[in-house]
Amino acid sequence: MNPEQTRLARFHRQMSTNLPILYTKRGCAWCREVVEFLDRNGVGYRLREVTDDPEAFAQMERTSGQTRAPTLDWHGDVLADFGVDELVPFLRSHNVKLEDS
């Protein structure tokens, strides 16, 4: 993780526990794309990078039933192994207003 990603990860972990949890893996292009999309559109989330965190990895697997990232846990409604194309309708189904729409 570069210094900016580390700073953002720390920031997101410190945010309210009411925010959805986004599980990512280091080096995952889809994860990076999703993080950039959420940040660009002002959508809050708590970031859990699971590559070197066995507890977070296990939680992601329990939550989603699989080991692929990204995984988004929106208060029990889970979107797993997705890209931005799948994320947009998921967010809209949760009444999230995207800045680009």
CATH no. for residue 33? 3.40.30.10
Whole-number pLDDT of residue 13: 59
Give the whole-angstrom CA distance, residue 17 versus residue 84: 24
Is 80 contained in some domain? yes
Taking the C-alpha atoms of residue 50 and residue 99, their distance in angstroms, rounded to an integer, is: 28
Structural domain span for residue 50: 3-93
Is residue 78 domain-resident?
A: yes
Contacts of 70 (CB under 8 A, 6+ apart): 22, 23, 24, 25, 28, 30, 31, 34, 80, 81, 82
Higher-pLDDT residue of 3 and 87 is 87
Q: Which of residues 2 and 20 earns the better pLDDT score?
A: 20
Is 8 part of a structural domain of the chain? yes
Q: Give the mean pLDDT of the chain.
A: 89
pLDDT digits (tens, 9 = 90+) for 48-85: 999 999 999 999 999 999 999 999 999 999 999 999 99
pTM of the model: 0.81
In a domain, 98, yes or no: no
pLDDT of 46 above 90: yes
